[in-house]
Amino acid sequence: MYPDERVANFVTENFVPVRVDVRKNPAPMERFGAFWTPIVVILDPLGTERYRFEGYLPVTDFLAHLTLGLGQVAFASGRFEEAERRFNEVVDKYPESEQAAEALYWRGVARYKKGDTAALGDTAAEFTRRYQTSSWAKKASVWKKAS
Amino acid sequence: MAIEWRTDVDAALAEAREKRKPVLLDFSAAPF
């Protein structure tokens, strides 16, 4: 994925990237609980893990994961506006990816955290039109009464 | 644009704190 210009630009723009050669330097695997490869772990600027994903992926799925991870970093630090923007970016740019349903769920939560009291109900309603069979639709289904 | 990979985790964490950017840790070589 990394030779792809879109991925390289995205990584360079948004992260401090670290490559761990686990054969030469296995200690970080234990430190971060990475017991299989490939795996990507996203830490916030203070070093707390906020997101991880495993396996080789097509470029668009890879970018969707990275964007979702940035959303989780922003969400965890209370930057709900930025989190919403990142989650929305996944939904809009990578609607066919497996991460889109998860991003739709968290976009609703970020909007709710910003003070939009209808956001959870609106999200549950949107899940009746998109990604109906995803686990995230099931999780959001309890919000139907929230609107 | 090629990615400028860091290899020292703790140095990267210090850089991340300074730049207020998240860290992407890539574990890419199979350990078997």
Per-residue burial over A92-122, b if 16 or more Cβ lie within 10 Å, else e, is eebeebebbbbbbbbbbbbbbeeeeeebbbb
Report the residue of A1, A10, A16, A54 to disrupt the B interface, i.e. the one with the largest count of B CBs within 10 Å: A16
Query: How far is the C-alpha of A113 from the C-alpha of A54, rounded, in Å?
Result: 29
Which chain A residue shows the shortest CA-CA distance from B2? Answer: A8
- The predicted-structure confidence for A49-62, as pLDDT tens digits, reads as follows 999 999 889 999 99
pLDDT tens across B1-32, in order? 789 999 999 999 999 999 999 999 999 865 44
pTM above 0.90, yes or no: yes
C-beta separation of A90 from A71 below 8 A: yes
Could you say which of B3, B19, B27 has the minimum Cβ distance to residue A39? B27
Residues near A117 by Cβ (< 8 Å), separated by ≥ 6? none
